[in-house]
Amino acid sequence: MATATDFKDYYTILGVSKTATAEEIKRAYRKLARKYHPDVNPGNPEAEEKFKDLNEANEVVSNPETREKYDQFGQHWKQAAAGGFPPRETNANAAGFDQYSNFDDFINDLMGGRTRSGQTHYRTSTQQPDDFAGFRSQAPAPDTEAAIALSFSEAWNGVQKRLQLDDETINIRIPAGAKSGSRIRIKGKGRASHFSQQRGDLYLTIELFPHPFFKFSGDNLICEVPIRPDEAVLGTQMQVPTPDGAVTMTVPKGVNSGQSLRLRAKGWKLPKGDRTDLIVKLQIVSPKELSEIEQDCYEKIQASSSFNPRSTLEEVTL
């Protein structure tokens, strides 16, 4: 029997208000799911418990039907959805239910049996509980949302994962090319409906752990590659890492620090087998120590160069 101390405030768990939109709930769930995901917190029972509570809260309030029941009946929403009468309690949270002798009276009053606070309700059939039972047997099963974190390598190559959903272990094959925000649907592997006991679908949201070299820019990948001052001035050819191996890239002469070059079809995998682009951002790096020859060459260049990169600054005024 549920008590007031058993009650879980799903909105507080998700960190949203009771008036939060579906999109706000989704964003809050994804943010916290990434924070408390077991893969990010291995061996942390507190994070694991919070992750379970997050999934439970999201399952209820992200579904319009179960959210309506939860908002209406609070901690007694499961009993009300199942057609049972909430247990009598002396706690203030139970006030409002104690005045009814059975659930039929409560529903009758709610739907029109009495007039309260100046509001008129229309009376419904006395067969309300049976009607609710018919509704429960036909109600669609809710979908379940969960998050899973992958390394760049796992997402690039595809991977098989074992996911613990309540007391069930599910083997999931994640295809190659997933990225943060990707959603995978596993039919019939969601939690059972509180109405019909049928199972909905499981939707997995993919999140990627940060990579030390590659980052996403939209669908494309982006990386930073250091070059020497002489390479920037004269141009060069260099080896650049890509997800499936290094390739040779030509750097034209006269490039600037921060300038980007594009390697077409060398970025991330797309579902249909194509590739996005790899954007290479150049970063000119000056040497901290010079050999005698290098020192002499740079001094000669400095003494003989007519190029002034700050010429436009002479016209700057307030």
Same-domain pairing of 189 and 220: no
Same-domain pairing of 199 and 236: no
Q: State the Cα–Cα distance between residues 11 and 23, nearest whole angstrom.
A: 14
Say what percent of the chain tops pLDDT 90. Answer: 42
**Is pLDDT at 247 greater than 90 in this prediction?**
yes
Same-domain pairing of 251 and 266: yes
Q: Where does a domain end: 162, 186, 208?
A: 208
Q: Distance between the two ends of the chain, CA-based, in angstroms?
A: 75
**Is pLDDT at 148 greater than 70 in this prediction?**
yes
| pLDDT tens for each residue of 13-37 | 999 998 889 888 888 888 888 888 8
Same-domain pairing of 147 and 248: no
CA pseudo-torsion sign 153, 155, 157, 161: positive
Residues 6+ apart with CB under 8 A from 253: 233, 234, 235
| pLDDT tens for each residue of 48-107 | 888 888 888 888 888 888 888 888 877 777 766 565 544 444 343 443 444 545 444 544
Question: Taking a C-beta distance cutoff of 8 angstroms, is the pair 266, 248 a contact?
Answer: no
| pLDDT tens for each residue of 271-282 | 888 999 999 999
Same-domain pairing of 225 and 201: no
Concatenate the DSSP letters of all residues of 254-310 into one string: T--TT-EEEETT-S-B-TTS-B--EEEEEEE---SS--HHHHHHHHHHHHH----TT
Q: Are strands 202-208 and 144-150 parallel, antiparallel or unpaired?
A: parallel
CA nearest to 169, candidates 189, 152, 197: 189
Name the 3-class secondary structure at 80.
helix
Same-domain pairing of 164 and 232: no
Same-domain pairing of 236 and 267: yes
Give this prediction's pTM.
0.57
Q: Which pLDDT score is estimated for 149?
A: 92
Sorting pLDDT into bands at 50, 70 and 90, what band is 178? very high
Q: Is 9 part of a structural domain of the chain?
A: yes
| pLDDT tens for each residue of 203-224 | 889 999 999 999 999 999 999 9
Q: State the Cα–Cα distance between residues 147 and 207, nearest whole angstrom.
A: 7
Q: Where does a domain end: 152, 183, 208?
A: 208
